[in-house]
Chain A
C-alpha cells in the first residue's frame, strides 16, 4: 500500500502572504501531517494489521516535509519516500501529480490511499489526478473501506449529500479518505523513537527521470496570480434579544442574509 501525504500549516496557523504576493509566508507557522492524510495512514495501517503487506508513505515538498513522513512512520508506516528537489516546488495539482505518479511507477502497490483534500489549498485534485495518470480506478471521499484480498477488490462507502453510495472497484485503485473513515491512532513513544532510525528515501528530479519543464512551476496548468488575506475576519454575531424574538431574528437572518433557508 502507498499513502500520499502532505505537510500543511495547522488549522490554527495565522496565515500571512509572503513577499511577491503569490505564496504564504512560512514564518512562525507550525506544519503538521494533513489531517485527512492521517485517516489515510490509519486505514493503511489497519489493512496491514488485518491482511499483511507494507505501508509506504510518499510526499513531495521542501525539507520540512520530512516531518510529515516521520509522523506517519511513527504511527507505524514501514517506508517513506520524499520527492525533494527545488525544481519540484511551487507547482500546482497538475505538476505535483505528474511527479508523484512518476515515483509510483517504481513502488509496487495494490492500493493507494490519500486524504480527500489537503487543508492548505483545498484543491482535492492530486489524488484523482495521480489515479488518472496511472490509469487506475479511483474512489473519493470514502468513509468506509473493505478490501477482499483474494478477489482483489475493494468496497468503499462514500457519504454524499443526504445519501451514501457503495462502490466496488478492482484493485489496484486509489481511495481518498474522508473524516469518519476511522479514528487515527497517536504515534506511540516507541514508534516515535523507531521512526527516528528509519531511513527516508529521497528522490530528486534526476532520479525520478523527469524534465524540469514537466514539474514545479514550469509544469503547472494554472498559475496563482495573487493571494490576499480576507480584509476583515469573519465574525460571529450574537443575538441578544429575548428568546422568541431572537429565534425570529435568527430565522430572518438565515433566510435573508446567509441564504441557507
Chain B
C-alpha cells in the first residue's frame, strides 16, 4: 500500500539543493544540542570520578560546599577515633585526611584573565586515603615545606604552574614541584600542598574545612553518619565522597541542561520552520506527481505517509550531519566556573552513545514536525486540480 522508500530518498537526492539548506539547519541545531549534552556528560564524569566508593567526607551541616564548611580539630579527632574508620597498615593510624580549601586567583594561560583555582591543604595520609593519585612529573611536596603539586588539567590551563615555578598566594611563595593525575577527577583541577604549612599561612588554624575518611566497611556509612549527626558536640554530617562531589555539579548541570533545553526549543523551532518551508516547496513542485499517484489509486494516507517519511529522512540526514560535526568537539577540554565552589573545573567533552541517540531523535522529531503540515496539504490536494498543475 505504501510507496517505496527509494522513491522518497531519490526525490530528496534529486532536489538536493533545496533540501541541503534544511538539512544544514537541522544539522546545526543538533550539533549545538549534542555538544551541550557532551559538556554535561563530561562535567558529570569529572565530578563522579572524584572520590572513592569506600570514602566518606565529613563536612559542617548546612554547608553547600567545602569552602563554606568548617569544624574544629577536636571534632575531627572524635570522628577519626571511631572504630568504623579504616586504619593504616603499619602504625594503625586512622586513614583520614583533614583538609582546608582556599580559592586563589590565577591568570589563565590563553588570555591572562584571572580565574579561580582551588588550593587544597591535605594531611600526609591523603595519598593513602585517596587512591588513584599519580605524580606524572616531578615529585610530591615535602611535609613542612612551602611546596605544592599541581593537577594536570589546571596546569594546562593556568600560567606559571610549570615545575620549578614560584606561585604567590596570599603573600607567600609556593614552589611547584610536581604534576599529578587523578583519573580525570576534579582533583586534577586543584593545587595541593601540606595542610600543616598551609593552615597557618592561610589563617585556617584550629580546624579544617573537611575531613575525608576511609571506611573499613562502606556499608557502615549510614549508621556512622547517624552517630555523627546525633553528637551534640558538633554540627557535622558524613557523606559518601563521590556522592558529595557529584552533588556539587547540581547547579551547573542544571543550567547546562536548561541551556540544552533552550537551544532545543528556540533553535529547534527555527529548524522546524526551515524544514517546513522546504517540504512545502517540495510538495508544490510535485503537485502533478501527487495528483498522478492519487489517480492511480494511492490513498490520502499513503501520500501523507510518503511526505512525512521524506521529511523524516531530511531530519535523519541533518541529525547525522550534526552528530558528525559535534564529534569535532569530542575530547576537547574546557572549563566552567564550578558555581558551588566558585572555582574553575576543567573537563573534557564526552560524546556518549546516549548523546548521539538524543541528537538523532531530536533531528527526527524536527523532521517529523516540519513535514506534518506540508504532508497534510499534499494528502488533501484535489486530484483534478493537482493534475492541471504545470
Q: Do A and B bind each other?
A: no
Chain B contacts to A: CB under 8 angstroms: none
Seen from chain A, the residues whose Cβ lies within 8 Å of a Cβ on chain B are none
